C-alpha cells in the first residue's frame, strides 16, 4: 500500500485547513527551488517573503510533532527525485494549481521523478471551479454580477435576500480625497527573528544580478528593512491591526494617493492571503464583525469585502479559464517596450517616480497606484501587455501569475476584452484629482502640448486617436470620443508631435 505525503508549494502555507489538516498523521514535503526564483529578477523582499514563510512554516509544523521533509535544491524536479529516492512508496497529495497547464507540468515532474500525485481543492479560495463555471455558463464575465452572486451564496452582508444597507456597493462614498490634516494609522511592523534575517541575507547573496536581458538586470534599489508577516501568528496580528486601526478610513480614501503616505489605510493583507497565512472567510468575517460592533462604517467594510470576496475570487477563475491565451493577449496591438524607468525610477514625472520608488523600496504600491499610474501610463504609452505583466510579477511582493495577468494584461492594458468593458485610460486630470503629485511635478498638469506639458495628456489623446477603430463603437467611450471630435487638425498635429516626443524621451531615458 502506498504511503501518503502532503506536498505544499510555497504559496499554499495553510495548516489549519486543506490537505495538511485533513491528514494529521501524514508527513509534509516542502521544496525550495532556486531555479524557480531565478525565472525573473524578483524583488528581494518577494523572495525573502516566500522562503522565510516556508522556513517558518516548516519549523512550526515540525515543532507540533509532524514529520517534515524539507528540500533545498536547484529545481522542483531535483527535489521530487530526491524525495522519491528516499520514499519510493510515496504518493503525494497537493492542492490543485490554478490552470490545467500547471497541473500537467506538475504531473509530468512527479511522474519523471518516479512517483504519483493526487490534487485536492485549493481552500485559499471560497468559490470552487465548478461553482464559478456554472455561474459563467453563458461565457460572460461581469464582476458586479459575480460579486452579488457570491454575497448571496455566502450570506455576507446580507439580510435574507437583500444587501445590508439597501445597496450592493458604496463606490460613491469611496472616492474621497482626505483633508490635508488627515494622517492614517501607521502600518504594523514586526521584529523578525534570525530565520527571517538569515533568509534575507541569503536572498541578497544568491539572487542579486545575473540576468542577461536588459533592462531586466535585477537592479532594485537598496530596499527598506523587510516588513511583511511571514507566520500565521504575525498575519493574524496584521489583520487585527487593520480592522482596529485602519479599516474605518479604508473605504472613503481607498482611491486616493499621497506622496508621503505609501500605505494610506489599505489592509496590506494581500501577501498573507496569497500565501495562505490568512484565509478569505476569516478576513471577511473579521471585517463584518467590525461593522456590527460599530468600529467601521458600512461603506468601508463593503469596499473591503468586495476586494476579497468579489475581485480576488473573480480574477482567480478568469485566469483559470482564459489561460494560456490571456498571458499574451494584445487586442490593441501595443508594441512599445517597457521604459527602463519602470526599473530605475529615473523619471521627472512625480507620480511615476514616487510610485516606482515605492516598489523598488518595498515591493508594494496600493491598487489605485497600480491601475491609474503604472498601468495607465503603460496603456496610453502603448506598452506590450506581457512586458508590463512581467515587471509587476517580478516587482511586487504579493504578485503571483494568477493575480498579475488578469489585473495587468486585461484590466490595466485592456489586452483581451474578456471582462474589461473599457480601457482605464486617464489624463493628468484624474491624477491631480486623486493625488497630491501634480503640485510638485516639473510637468504642467494643464498643458497638453509644448515643452513641459504633462506626458499623460498628449499620450491620452494620442491613445484615443490611434485606437479609434477599436474603441469608438464602445458605448462606454462615447463621451471621450465626443471630445475627440471637437479637436481640429492643427491641435491633433501638435498632440501627435508631443506624444512622439514623449516616447522618444522615454526610450532615451530623458523623461
pLDDT digits (tens, 9 = 90+) for 401-428: 999 999 999 999 999 999 999 999 999 9
Confirm whether 210 is domain-assigned: no
Distance of alpha carbon 297 from alpha carbon 194, whole angstroms: 40
Task: Report the CATH number that the domain containing residue 137 is assigned in CATH.
Answer: 1.25.40.80
User: Sorting pLDDT into bands at 50, 70 and 90, what band is 2?
Assistant: confident
* Distance between CA atoms of residues 157 and 151, nearest Å: 7
Q: What is the mean pLDDT of residues 169-183?
A: 92
Instruction: For residue 223, give the nearest of 85, 396, 361, 107 by alpha carbon.
Output: 361
**Which of 78, 96, 120 lies at the terminal end of a domain, its last residue?**
120
Average pLDDT over residues 102-107: 96
For the residues 492-505, what does the mean pLDDT come to? 97
**Which of 131-135, 171-175, 327-331, 413-417 shows the lowest per-residue confidence on average (mean pLDDT)?**
171-175
Residue 28: which H helix or E strand, with range? Answer: strand 28-33
Residues 355 and 455 in one domain: yes
**Judgement on whether residues 87 and 173 belong to the same structural domain of the protein:** no
Banded pLDDT at 93 (limits 50, 70, 90): very high
In percent, the amount of the chain with pLDDT more than 90 equals 92
Q: How far apart are CA 11 and CA 400, in angstroms?
A: 9
Same domain flag for 429 and 497 = yes
Mean pLDDT (the chain) is 94
Give counts: helices (H), strands (E), the chain: 25, 7
Looking at the structure, tell me whether residues 282 and 353 fall in a common domain.
Answer: no
Do 116 and 86 share a structural domain? yes
Whole-prediction pTM value? 0.95
Regarding whether 264 and 180 lie in a shared domain, the answer is yes
Residue 306 CA from chain centroid, whole number: 15
Q: In the prediction, which pLDDT does 1 show?
A: 54
Question: Could you say which of 120, 142, 174 is where a domain stops?
Answer: 120
Q: Which of 191, 187, 269, 200 is nearest to 49 (CA)?
A: 200
Give dist(CA 172, CA 296) in Å, integer: 17
Is the residue at 284 inside a domain?
yes
| Radius of gyration of the chain from its Cα atoms, rounded to whole angstroms | 24
Q: Which residues share a beta bridge with 4?
A: 91
How much of the chain, in percent, has pLDDT values that exceed 70? 97
Residue 310 belongs to some domain of the structure: yes
Give the pLDDT of residue 222.
73
CA distance 435 to 430: 8
C-alpha cell at 410: 486585461
Tell whether 145 is covered by a domain: yes
Residue 93's domain comprises 3-120
Has residue 214 got a pLDDT over 90? no
- Rounded Cα–Cα distance for residues 460 and 445 (Å): 13
Nearest to 111 by CA among 77, 138, 153, 69: 77
Per the CB < 8 A criterion, the answer to whether 393 and 327 are in contact is no
Q: Does residue 155 share a domain with residue 274?
A: yes
Residue 77 belongs to domain with CATH number: 3.40.50.620
Domain stops at, among 87, 120, 153? 120
CATH number for position 456: 1.10.579.10
Q: Are 295 and 248 in contact (CB under 8 A)?
A: yes
Exposed/middle/buried for residue 259 (C-beta within 10 Å: 0-12, 13-18, 19+): middle
The answer to whether residues 24 and 97 belong to one domain is: yes
Supply 222's cell numbers: 537598496
Closest listed residue to residue 100, CA positions, set 313, 274, 323: 323
Q: Identify whether 334 is part of a domain.
A: no
Residue 219 banded pLDDT, cuts 50, 70, 90: low
Dist. CA 274–CA 271, nearest whole Å? 5
Residue 215 lies inside a defined structural domain of this protein: no
Kindly give the pairing relationship between strand 158-159 and strand 28-33. unpaired
Three-state secondary-structure class, residue 414: coil
Q: Do β-strands 68-73 and 116-120 pair in parallel, antiparallel, or remain unpaired?
A: unpaired
pLDDT tens-digit readout, 249-295: 999 999 999 999 999 999 999 999 999 999 999 999 999 999 999 99
**Is residue 216 domain-resident?**
no
Q: With bands split at pLDDT 50, 70 and 90, how would you rate the model's confidence at 207? A: confident
Q: Are 48 and 110 contained in the same domain?
A: yes
Q: Flag whether 209 is in a domain.
A: no
Q: How many domains would you assign to the chain?
A: 3
* Tens of pLDDT, residues 313-361: 999 999 999 999 999 999 999 999 999 999 989 999 999 999 999 999 9
Euclidean distance between CA atoms 147 and 142, whole angstroms: 9
Cell of 309: 470576496
35 and 60 both lie in a single domain = yes
d(CA 53, CA 94): 18
If asked whether residues 65 and 165 sit together in one domain, one would say: no
Mean pLDDT value of segment 183-191: 93
Cell 470576496 locates to 309
φ, ψ of residue 158 to 5 degrees: the values are -120, 145
Examine the pLDDT at 209 and tell me if it is beyond 70. Answer: no
C-alpha cell at 297: 462604517
Considering the domain architecture, whether residues 148 and 75 belong to the same structural domain is answered as: no
> What is the mean predicted confidence (pLDDT) over 385-411?
96
Provide the residue count of the chain: 511
d(Cα 106, Cα 112) in Å, to the nearest integer? 10
pLDDT confidence band for 139 (50 / 70 / 90): confident
Q: How far apart are CA 386 and CA 328, in angstroms?
A: 6
Q: Which residue in 468, 463, 460 sits closest to 485, CA to CA?
A: 468
Q: CA torsion sign, 351 to 354 to 360 to 361?
A: negative
Cell numbers for 292 = 456590527
Amino acid at each position: 500500500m502506498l504511503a501518503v505525503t502532503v506536498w505544499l508549494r510555497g504559496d499554499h502555507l495553510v495548516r489549519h485547513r486543506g490537505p495538511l489538516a485533513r491528514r494529521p498523521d501524514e508527513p509534509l514535503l516542502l521544496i525550495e527551488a532556486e531555479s524557480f526564483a531565478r525565472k525573473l529578477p524578483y524583488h528581494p523582499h518577494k523572495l525573502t517573503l516566500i522562503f522565510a514563510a516556508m522556513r517558518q512554516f516548516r519549523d512550526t509544523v515540525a515543532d507540533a510533532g509532524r514529520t517534515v521533509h524539507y528540500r533545498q535544491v536547484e529545481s522542483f524536479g531535483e527535489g521530487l527525485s530526491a524525495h522519491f529516492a528516499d520514499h519510493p512508496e510515496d504518493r503525494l497529495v497537493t492542492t490543485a494549481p490554478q490552470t490545467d497547464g500547471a497541473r500537467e507540468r506538475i504531473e509530468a515532474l512527479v511522474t519523471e521523478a518516479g512517483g504519483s500525485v493526487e490534487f485536492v481543492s485549493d481552500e485559499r479560495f471560497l468559490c470552487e471551479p465548478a461553482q464559478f463555471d456554472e455561474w459563467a455558463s453563458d461565457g460572460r464575465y461581469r464582476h458586479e454580477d459575480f460579486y452579488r452572486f457570491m454575497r448571496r451564496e455566502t450570506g455576507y452582508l446580507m439580510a435574507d435576500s437583500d444587501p445590508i444597507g439597501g445597496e450592493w456597493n458604496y463606490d460613491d462614498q469611496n472616492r474621497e480625497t482626505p483633508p490635508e490634516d488627515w494622517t492614517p494609522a501607521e502600518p504594523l511592523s514586526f521584529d523578525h527573528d534570525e530565520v527571517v534575517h538569515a533568509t534575507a541575507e541569503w536572498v541578497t547573496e544568491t539572487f542579486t544580478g545575473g540576468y542577461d536581458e536588459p533592462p531586466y538586470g535585477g537592479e532594485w534599489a537598496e530596499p527598506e528593512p523587510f516588513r511583511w508577516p511571514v507566520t500565521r501568528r504575525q498575519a493574524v496580528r496584521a489583520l487585527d491591526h487593520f480592522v482596529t486601526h485602519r479599516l474605518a478610513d479604508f473605504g472613503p480614501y481607498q482611491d486616493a494617493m499621497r506622496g508621503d503616505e505609501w500605505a494610506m489605510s489599505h489592509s496590506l493583507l494581500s501577501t498573507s492571503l496569497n500565501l495562505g497565512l490568512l484565509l478569505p472567510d476569516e478576513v471577511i468575517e473579521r471585517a463584518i464583525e467590525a461593522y456590527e460592533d460599530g468600529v467601521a462604517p458600512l461603506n468601508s467594510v463593503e469596499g473591503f469585502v468586495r476586494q476579497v470576496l468579489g475581485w480576488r475570487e473573480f480574477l482567480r477563475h478568469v485566469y483559470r479559464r482564459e489561460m494560456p491565451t490571456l498571458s499574451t493577449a494584445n487586442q490593441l496591438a501595443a508594441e512599445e517596450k517597457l521604459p527602463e524607468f519602470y526599473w530605475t525610477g529615473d523619471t521627472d514625472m512625480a507620480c511615476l517616480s514616487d510610485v516606482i520608488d515605492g516598489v523598488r523600496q518595498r515591493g508594494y504600491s496600493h491598487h489605485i497606484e497600480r491601475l491609474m499610474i503604472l498601468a495607465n501610463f503603460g496603456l496610453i504609452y502603448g506598452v506590450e501587455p506581457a512586458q508590463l505583466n512581467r515587471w509587476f510579477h517580478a516587482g511586487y511582493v504579493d504578485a503571483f501569475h494568477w493575480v498579475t495577468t488578469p489585473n495587468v494584461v486585461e484590466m490595466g492594458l485592456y489586452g483581451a476584452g474578456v471582462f474589461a468593458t473599457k480601457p482605464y485610460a486617464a489624463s493628468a486630470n484624474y491624477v491631480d484629482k486623486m493625488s497630491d503629485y501634480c503640485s510638485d511635478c516639473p510637468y504642467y498638469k494643464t498643458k497638453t502640448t509644448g515643452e513641459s506639458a504633462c506626458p499623460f495628456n498628449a499620450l491620452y489623446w494620442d491613445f484615443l486617436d490611434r485606437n479609434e477603430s477599436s474603441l469608438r463603437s464602445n458605448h462606454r467611450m462615447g463621451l471621450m470620443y465626443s471630445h475627440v471630435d471637437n479637436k481640429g487638425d492643427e491641435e491633433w498635429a501638435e498632440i501627435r508631435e508631443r506624444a512622439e516626443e514623449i516616447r522618444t524621451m522615454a526610450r532615451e531615458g530623458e523623461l
